[in-house]
Amino acid sequence: MKKIAIMTTGGDCSGLNTVINRVVLGASIRGWRVYGIVDGTDGLCCKPINVIEMNTETVPIENARLAGSFLHNGHACMLNFEKAAQTGRIKEFNKTLRDALIKLKLDALILVGGNGSFSLAWLNREIYRDLSLVCIPKTIDFDIPLTDRTIGFDTAVEQLTSYCDQILLTARSHHRWFVVQTMGRDCGRLALYAGIAVGADAILVPEIKFDVDELVQHIKSVNRDYGIIMVSEGITLRGHSGRPADMIARKLTAAGITNRTAFPDYVQRAGDTVAGDRLLAAKMATCALDAIENNETYVMTALRGNDCVTVPLAEFYAAGDVRADPNIPAVKTANAYIEPDDPLLRVASDLGVYVGVSG
């Protein structure tokens, strides 16, 4: 009988409880014991280790669709990674994790996380030797290389779409444009997908240069006096500071375009998990459990078309655009971004959406 554990790390998103539910169910069917590490790696640093034994009733099916994480995603306790990085105590932090894992005597650990957690796990892989480490990608940012989707992204797109559907009615009543700022860090995929779904007239993303005069001309050329301008939080405007949506809104106002800003914020990480994310969570849970059965380690589950496969963490790290995380300069993270040949860019321009400077 195997003894495995699951933890969720980084920013939460919808779909985490579904994946926990599916892992526990699949492990129980295999006759394995499953533990949940509470608060991600912070829980491993706590004394005593913050861990609970889980069964199929711990996250029942009717709660599996709920946003957030039953296991929580992190809590400032005695020592956590950010604190360790800031105070030069990474070695001590890594040793604490290693000691905790030895104490738990696990056969496998499923880490449900984002590119920061995976990069960290790979760079400090010694911590996880002697057990099978399987990572499941989740993030609303969809900035993890080598997978066709991350858990939580589809729900975030849905949340943004329904948010914009609501404000479009207000926009129409008041003859106003709304500049909606999406999350996504330095990856514009969330803004691009939701922008197309909503029918935005302009989508500004960090990966593509844009020109404010062109944007203004485009909005003035639209045969309507209201609509949505989707702005990813990662865009910058030379010589300007503040929130990206505010910067764009000021430019539009100066050009005589009546507008307001809107910030859906954490609503993007909330909401009942959409069916697409539930299916993805189920596929990834099965793939992760199969990987453990096959004694794979240092792998990540990845969606490829309709299938879920495992890819080595080494490939994940090598495939990403490796950059320093501004919040944790001690760590370099493998990121994925919108590529210039992304078919959705072609779809957007074919719909007459302004997506930045072409060519």
Contact residues toward ligand F6P (CB under 6 A) are 11, 139-141, 183-185, 233, 269
Token pair listed for 240:
């300007």
Query: Is 139 within 8 Å of 153 (Cβ atoms)?
Result: yes
Whole-angstrom distance, CA of residue 72 vs CA of residue 182: 23
Write down the residue that tokens 């709304």 correspond to: 178
Closest CB 65 distance from ligand F6P, rounded Å: 20
CA dihedral 126, 309, 14, 135 (to 10 degrees): 0
- What is the DSSP-derived secondary structure letter of residue 58? T
Q: Select 11 or 244, whichever has its Cβ closest to ligand F6P.
A: 11
Torsion angle (degrees, nearest 10) of CA 139, 108, 38, 10: -20
Q: Tell which residue, 187, 169, 144, 142, has the closest CA to residue 228.
A: 169
CB of 206 to ligand F6P, least distance (A): 12
**135 DSSP β-pair partners:** 111, 300
Which residue, 36 or 113, has its beta carbon nearer to ligand F6P? Answer: 113
Token look-up 């939701």 returns 194
Shorter beta-carbon distance to ligand F6P: residue 97 or 140: 140
DSSP notation for 78-98: S--HHHHHHTT-HHHHHHHHH
**Is 213 considered catalytic here?**
no
Task: Select the residue whose beta carbon is closest to ligand F6P and give its number.
Answer: 183
CB of 91 to ligand F6P, least distance (A): 25
Q: Which is nearer to ligand F6P, 115 or 310 (CB)?
A: 115
Strands 321-325 and 328-335 come out as antiparallel
Nearer to ligand F6P, 72 or 269 (CB): 269
* Number of CB atoms found within 10 A of residue 328's CB: 17
Give least dist CB 111 to ligand F6P, A.
16
* Of 12, 42, 141, 143, catalytic: 141
Instruction: Tally helices (H) and strands (E) across the chain.
Output: 12, 13
Pick 26 or 116: Cβ nearer ligand F6P: 116
Burial class (CB in 10 A: 0-12, 13-18, 19+), 209: exposed
> What are the beta bridge partners of residue 35?
5, 53
Nearest to 167 by CA among 99, 261, 232: 261
| Least distance in angstroms from the C-beta of 265 to ligand F6P | 9
Cis ω for the linkage preceding 326 (within 30 of 0): no
Q: Based on CB atoms, which residue is closest to ligand F6P, 131 or 194?
A: 194
Least distance in angstroms from the C-beta of 315 to ligand F6P: 22
Closest separation between CB of residue 138 and ligand F6P, Å?
Answer: 10
Q: Which residues form the catalytic set?
A: 141
